[in-house]
Chain A
């Protein structure tokens, strides 16, 4: 009889706003994987011998491995021979030297994505290394950074210009044999970002990479390597989007962070890869290995992630706390809607004395979304006085979604203190009604409640990113009201 008030499940539809694709001439390797393809990639990139060797070792190892089955995510089998492992926009000459050389179509794409590539936006203080499919097309602010001795460039360029650094650190956190997807990445990765902050230097601006998957049927395998030398500091932002495609696309990235004595690295991700449509068709499979190594004493690494995209997210940004007094942090918001699946969390491996780690995980499930937190806290025998605090909260919208928590705790040192708190709540119809009864539209109320739930994580993000993340959650939960 009465006009039905808005139902929660009607609020959680979404449109993917970044779902346009760009017409570009590309240089794409035929589908399939074999040593010949790897040699071809390496040759196209004019790599030194050690890189090709490393790739081939990885590939040969990969052939002996099997796809992991232990996570909660479910997907049809991936045909690795049906993927093209290299795709680059064809550009005039040997690749862009400045913004003027970059394909204007590409620049328009970045504009639509809101990537601040233009000089005037650069004044806002973001240096962007944009990865379009597999080749880095424009790296900005490089000169200013170079003046401080900071190296910030595409991975390919680092291989050419700083092979000694690449050789020293590549695979030193995530070895080529690490896991199925990381090993595949090691064999075929085509580009990514590289960053080195010399001793005692505080990077004066946020460094940023935007990743975007554009070409059809191409997996994207990028690799990021960040080294903060003694006493250095850097804050790094990674943003991702991908156009709408019916077929699923594979993304298997590797990120390695290395912090030496007294160094600090902050790494923040806002990920909104295409999640598939509301019936679960299409979307990115995101199998990513991210690991930081607090190699030096008093070093500090923090991961902050806001994951709203991908059909499947499989990702455990981790910290190895080797140096004494090292600090590792993981702050995460993961949202799954429709048929999205997320199996994400972290690993904190305490090896050094008085090492500390903090884990704050906020999982939001809506629609038929599945959200799992999987976290490992390992305290080795050597980690005298180690401490961990873990807080894992799940928020459910509607009654067809699910949340799971899998905390693994292994403590080998009796002086360690490990605390774990977990909660699951449903967005209350009563919270929603309370806001509505004050005149606030249901959609806005849901966004407000969800953002409130995520507050502890958002406050870890740089200001503009936090605003972006809030909007993103709003969009991801947006829907029609009857």
Chain B
């Protein structure tokens, strides 16, 4: 589904991703881990189409197409969803309004009729329950005054409503108490399907206790320093990132 080849990305002349190779198949869950500042969010944002990053080399194919030929909204309509590490506040715009505009834009792209208010509300209420989110949040301005946990749940709600093909979740587990973590994890796990791929960006093993990934990748110094199965995450939990970073520095120097 997603094929990243030798991806180099810089911002303000500083190279952040220095040759990422990653293949994600439909039905798989990949965890991307790594220390702060290693480039996890950069990777996630570049995949979603953020233009403040410069792609200096490499390619990304999504469903066989050149991803970089698509605008951010086209990517979304083609089924890519990014749950933001820091969800953005939009004053004065009701949460439900954004959600409805998004869903209808995507449906229109797929040649489906717009959902009317009644059907839409039924769909959203159904998903709200699964995410364990208060309905009142639908009518508040997007993310404004939401607690950290509410913001993260709101991202999961959007994902559940939009039903993407490729979901990229950027530290959706950070800053959550244990109940919220469980709710968010359940929301993600419920999305797992043979025709959908999920990339989980996370710092912590604990999310992976709920969602067992097919593969774990460790990002260090702009490269995937190590890949493995779920046991790699547990090893990281024990030993920290330092040993991977040291190894990455070693190969970096050798290259």
**A interface residues (Cβ-Cβ under 8 A, vs B):** 1-6, 428-431, 433-442, 444, 448-449, 451-456
Contacts and interface: CB of A to CB of B under 8 A. Distances in A.
A448 B92 CA distance: 9
Given A1-B56, A436-B49, A444 B90 contact: no
B81 to A, nearest CB: 8
B70 interface: yes
A405 to B, nearest CB: 18
Contacts of B4: none
B117 interface: no
A448 B109 CA distance: 19
Given A452-B91, A453-B91, A444 B101 contact: yes
Given A439-B109, A452-B90, 10 more contacts: A2-B68, A4-B51, A433-B72, A436-B72, A437-B48, A437-B82, A448-B93, A452-B141, A454-B92, A455-B92
A453 B105 CA distance: 22
B8 to A, nearest CB: 10
B52 to A, nearest CB: 7
Interface string B72-85: 11011100011010
A452 B51 contact: no
A446 to B, nearest CB: 11
A433 B92 contact: no
B106 interface: yes
Given A434-B84, A439-B105, A448 B49 contact: no
A438 B68 contact: no
A439 B71 contact: no
- Most chain B CB neighbours (cut-off 10 Å) among A430, A431, A433, A455: A433
B181 interface: no
A449 B50 CA distance: 18
Given A3-B69, A5-B71, A6-B71, A438 B93 contact: no
Interface of B: 46, 48-52, 54-57, 68-73, 75-77, 81-82, 84, 87-93, 97-98, 101-102, 105-106, 109, 141, 158, 162
B18 to A, nearest CB: 15
B90 A431 contact: yes
Contact of A438 (B54, B71, B89, B158): B158
Contact of A439 (B46, B54, B102): B102
Given A437-B76, A444-B101, A451-B93, A1 B82 contact: no
- Which of A436, A439, A444 counts the most B-chain CB atoms under 10 A from its CB? A439
A438 B102 contact: yes
Given A2-B55, A434-B87, A440 B68 contact: no
B51 A439 contact: no
Contacts of B77: 439
Nearest to A458: B92
B88 A3 contact: no
B88 A428 contact: yes
Contacts of A1: 54-57, 68
Contacts of A437: 48-49, 72-73, 75-76, 81-82, 84
B47 to A, nearest CB: 10
Contacts of A441: 73, 105
A257 B125 CA distance: 48
Contacts of B92: 451-456
A434 B109 contact: no
B52 A429 contact: yes
30 contacts: A2-B51, A2-B55, A2-B68, A5-B50, A5-B71, A431-B88, A431-B89, A431-B90, A433-B49, A433-B88, A434-B88, A435-B98, A435-B101, A436-B49, A436-B72, A437-B48, A437-B73, A437-B76, A437-B81, A437-B82, A437-B84, A438-B101, A438-B162, A439-B109, A440-B102, A440-B105, A442-B73, A449-B90, A449-B93, A453-B92
